[in-house]
């Protein structure tokens, strides 16, 4: 596909007879295609990503900012909609939750909607998605007792994921932490999980200073203690944790538990970091079957499908 400047993309979108959704990345695109597949419409909407945009005004910007810039350029076009990650917009550090989770999303100006939680991955950050994936793919490798243990520890898994996310946010380490922590970096007890002090060595191997690495481990512990004391439920932490980092934490915690129950290292390795696309599509399958958990994604799919209008007036905002 040829690349477009912002001005050229505006012309392309406005000339299309089909509806256009612009999303931040290929994972978002894959999930939206899966939701569309469950609908009966005959329309063929277009789902774009910033990969097709080449404009000096976008230099140095992340995908969220690129999508917003493109939506601003396109303006008031009833056949166009953009979807961006909420990230920590409207996040309350005193309650560890987004302030407006119970409110219906609103189409902004430019025509943009945000994910309900931090990002697309948060839609799949619930206990049943992880457990059902294990049942489907590893029935011959794990026991019913192991699944019970995953369920018993899941609230603490989500709390650690949120603590890790907020510490990484505060110290601007999210990109450096990609792929971390490994299950070997996690301690597990009856009380739940904790990040070992030795995790500072893993950070140091990525050119993080010793002082900063030690500070990060302490900050994770501090956040985790506050989140546990506040009784933050997994259903709340699900939406607030960093989608990618939180998912990595969850799979590492689950692999750590499986290791404790005698599951082979090869299987634990797969659970921890393998089959990323399969995990995403498994989550998308579950989301497709549960519209209550999919605001505003299901609404967007219906809008793309043509079953609702979603006019520029805002009167057709998601319910």
pLDDT band per the 50, 70, 90 thresholds, residue 40: confident
Q: What is the mean pLDDT of residues 174-192?
A: 93
pLDDT at 314: 41
pLDDT, tens digit (0-9, with 9 covering 90-100), for 97-137: 998 887 767 898 899 999 999 999 999 999 999 999 999 99
Reduced to 3 states (helix: H, G, I; strand: E, B; else coil), residue 165 is helix
53 close to 114: Cβ distance less than 8 angstroms: no
DSSP code for 3: -
Q: Are residues 173 and 266 in the same domain?
A: yes
Q: Are residues 82 and 188 in the same domain?
A: no
pLDDT at 287: 94
pLDDT, tens digit (0-9, with 9 covering 90-100), for 11-22: 999 999 999 999
306 close to 286: Cβ distance less than 8 angstroms: no
Q: Are residues 224 and 144 in the same domain?
A: yes
Q: Are residues 111 and 133 in the same domain?
A: no
pLDDT at 313: 37
63 close to 26: Cβ distance less than 8 angstroms: no
**pLDDT above 90 covers what percent of the chain?**
86
Q: Are residues 102 and 186 in the same domain?
A: no
Q: List the one residue out of 266, 278, 251, 3 whose CA is nearest residue 125.
A: 251
pLDDT at 317: 56
pLDDT at 245: 95
pLDDT, tens digit (0-9, with 9 covering 90-100), for 80-103: 999 999 999 999 999 999 988 877
Q: Are residues 101 and 178 in the same domain?
A: no
Q: Where are the alpha helices (DSSP H) in 138-242?
A: 144-152, 154-170, 199-204, 210-229, 234-240
What does residue 193 show for φ and ψ, rounded to 5 degrees?
-105, 155
Q: Which two tokens stand for residue 102?
A: 């119970």
25 close to 63: Cβ distance less than 8 angstroms: yes
pLDDT, tens digit (0-9, with 9 covering 90-100), for 266-317: 999 999 999 999 999 999 999 998 887 788 999 999 999 987 765 433 445 5
- Across the strands, what pairs with 21? 47, 81
Instruction: Look at the chain and report how many structural domains it folds into.
Output: 2
Q: Are residues 220 and 247 in the same domain?
A: yes
**Residue tagged 């900063």 (tokens):** 212
pLDDT at 148: 96
Q: Are residues 42 and 73 in the same domain?
A: yes
In a domain, 318, yes or no: no
By residue count, the chain amounts to 319
Q: Are residues 249 and 299 in the same domain?
A: no
What does residue 120 show for φ and ψ, rounded to 5 degrees?
-60, -40
Q: Are residues 130 and 106 in the same domain?
A: no
**pLDDT above 70 covers what percent of the chain?**
95
Mean of all residue pLDDT scores within the chain: 93
Q: List the one residue out of 127, 247, 259 whose CA is nearest residue 183.
A: 259
User: In terms of residue numbers, what domain contains 128?
Assistant: 121-288
């Amino acid at each position: 596909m040829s690349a477009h400047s912002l001005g050229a993309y505006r012309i392309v979108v406005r000339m299309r007879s089909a509806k256009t959704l612009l999303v931040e990345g290929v994972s978002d695109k894959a999930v939206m295609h899966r939701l569309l597949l469950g609908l009966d419409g005959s329309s063929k909407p277009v789902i774009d990503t910033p990969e097709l945009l080449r404009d000096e005004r976008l230099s140095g910007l992340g995908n969220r900012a690129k999508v917003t810039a493109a939506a601003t350029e396109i303006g008031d076009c009833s056949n166009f909609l953009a979807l961006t990650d909420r990230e920590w917009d409207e996040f309350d550090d005193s309650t560890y939750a987004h302030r407006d989770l119970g409110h219906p999303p609103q189409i902004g100006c430019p025509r943009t909607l945000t994910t309900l939680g931090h990002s697309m991955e948060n839609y799949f950050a619930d206990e049943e998605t992880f457990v059902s994936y294990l049942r489907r793919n590893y029935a011959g490798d794990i026991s019913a007792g192991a699944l019970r243990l995953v369920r018993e520890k899941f609230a603490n898994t989500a709390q650690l994921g949120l603590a890790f996310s907020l510490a990484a946010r505060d110290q601007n380490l999210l990109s450096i932490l990609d792929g971390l922590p490994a299950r070997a970096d996690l301690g597990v007890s009856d009380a739940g999980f904790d990040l070992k002090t030795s995790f500072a060595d893993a950070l140091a191997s990525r050119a993080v200073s010793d002082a900063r690495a030690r500070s990060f481990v302490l900050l994770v512990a501090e956040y985790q203690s506050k989140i546990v004391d506040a009784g933050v439920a997994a259903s709340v932490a699900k939406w607030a944790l960093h989608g990618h980092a939180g998912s990595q934490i969850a799979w590492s915690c689950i692999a750590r538990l499986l290791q404790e129950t005698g599951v082979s290292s090869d299987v634990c390795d797969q659970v921890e970091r393998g089959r990323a696309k399969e995990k995403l599509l498994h989550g998308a399958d579950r989301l497709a079957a549960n519209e209550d958990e999919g605001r505003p994604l299901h609404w967007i799919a219906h809008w793309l499908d043509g079953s609702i209008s979603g006019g520029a007036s805002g009167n057709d905002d998601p319910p």
